[in-house]
Amino acid sequence: MRRSTITTVTLTILAAFVLAPIAAPALAAPTNVTWPVAVHVTAAPGTENNIHIIYIFLEDDGRITYEPDEEGAWIHLILDHPAGITTVETHTGLSCFLPSGSHAGTVGCFDTSSVAPFPGGGEDFVVALGDRDDIFDVRTAVGLGGIGTEAVGSLGSFEVHAGSGNDKVYGNEVPATVVDEADDSTYEYWTQDALSGDQGNDLLVGGPGADFLSGGSGADTLDGGIEEIEDEFYTGEDDTLVGGPGNDLLKAWAADRDPVINCGPGRRDKAIIDRGLDPKPKGCEVVKKKPPAGAIDAAKVTARSATAY
């Protein structure tokens, strides 16, 4: 959403990935990506941001493929349209980068945990949105015009601060992978996101991991997302949902136990929980208990997240 100087970014081969046009609001500086340690994605003030991150394989010859082999690397592809995005390369071959033959609105960041052709555990992302109505989305290529249907959402851990404005933040729905190089066996696990709405009337949607959602001030909707899926590394409880000041809606109905459901100090808060699984919510004026529904796929959760109960 925001706009500005659309800074040239990466990969000639990404020219095919042109986003569908979106009406451009206020001008300002582009979103900035910095690295190493965590990947920091920082929006400029005065812009509306529509930030998406997907996970793709980059062949050594610069081609994008969805059938990876041992010649190449997995990268996170970060887009913000129409605000634009930029970075400064710090470590050749390891960092986020802006190669020659640029494509406006894109930055690539290597997944340094991956061992080709297998995907990896992803990177740790720290995201700071701006002061307008922003979108942050790392699900499977949702809303990205021109991105192939085989592209997958990004993986890793995401700490997102939505800032002021009425924002929509969608967490990770793709499992991370660990590879045993002795026999090339792989193990999948779900990472944990921390999504904070800060100010404004926000929508926060988690994924299958044990996520932390905090609405902050405003009338927020917190949706823990699909049920926590046990893996090789985590078999505990699911999400923590904390509303905050304002009249919030907490959706904890996902066929698993969410250890903390706290609406905060609003006067007309509502929580929807799993009967017999979830603890008694705190600070919620209305509590609706539903029988655990069993596994809920991502498509149903996406539709459910947009629906008021």
Query: Cα-atom radius of gyration of the chain, to the nearest Å?
Result: 19
Q: Alpha helix locations (H) across the chain? A: 298-305
The band of 65, judged by pLDDT with boundaries at 50, 70 and 90, is confident
Going by C-alpha positions, the residue among 49, 45, 67, 46 that lies closest to residue 57 is 67
Q: What is the pLDDT, as a whole number, of residue 93?
A: 59
- At 225-244, the pLDDT tens digits run 876 555 555 556 789 999 99
- The 10 Å CB-count burial string (b at 16+, else e) for 34-60 is bbeeebbbebbebbbbbbbbbbbbbee
pLDDT at 296: 46
Q: What is the mean pLDDT of residues 26-42?
A: 82
pTM reported for the whole predicted model = 0.82
- What residues contact residue 298 under an 8 Å CB cut-off, 6+ apart? 139, 140, 173, 226
What proportion of the chain, given as a percentage, has pLDDT over 70? 74
Residue pLDDT, tens place only, 112-122 = 899 889 999 99
Which has the higher per-residue pLDDT, 94 or 17? 94
Q: What pLDDT, on the 0 to 100 scale, is given for residue 236?
A: 63
Give 28 or 184, the one with higher predicted confidence: 184
77-98: average pLDDT: 80
Question: What share of the chain has pLDDT > 90, as a percent?
Answer: 43
pLDDT for residue 60 is more than 80: yes
pLDDT above 60 (res 20): no
Whats the size of the chain, residue-wise?
309
- The sign one gets for the Cα dihedral 262, 263, 265, 267 is negative
Give tens-digit pLDDT for 124-153. Answer: 999 999 999 999 999 865 445 455 556 678
Average model confidence (pLDDT) for the chain? 79
pLDDT at 64: 72
Cα separation of 29 and 51, whole Å?
14
Measured in degrees and rounded to the nearest 5, phi and psi for residue 153 equal: -65, 165
Residue with more model confidence, 60 or 91: 60
Is the per-residue pLDDT at 13 higher than 50? no
Q: Which residues pair with 62 in a beta bridge?
A: none
Q: Is the pLDDT of residue 78 over 60?
A: yes
Find out whether 130 and 163 touch, Cβ atoms under 8 Å.
yes
User: Is residue 22 classed as helix, strand or coil in its secondary structure?
Assistant: coil
pLDDT recorded at residue 225: 85
pLDDT value of position 195:
98
Q: Which residue has the higher pLDDT, 95 or 171?
A: 171
Model confidence pLDDT, tens digit, residues 152-198: 789 999 999 999 999 999 999 888 988 887 888 888 888 899 999 99
* DSSP helix/strand/coil, 16: helix
Structure tokens at 253: 């109905």
Which carries the bigger pLDDT value, residue 62 or residue 111?
111
Q: Which residues pair with 128 in a beta bridge?
A: 42, 161
At residue 302, φ and ψ (nearest 5 deg) are -60, -45
C-alpha 82/C-alpha 5 separation (Å) is: 9
pLDDT in tens, 198-229: 999 999 999 988 999 999 999 999 999 876 55
Quick one: pLDDT at residue 186? 86
Model confidence at 308: pLDDT above 50: no
Which burial class, exposed, middle or buried, applies to 184 when counting CB atoms under 10 A from its CB (0-12, 13-18, 19+)?
Answer: exposed
pLDDT higher for 170 or 293?
Answer: 170
**Cα distance between residue 153 and residue 273, in whole Å:** 27
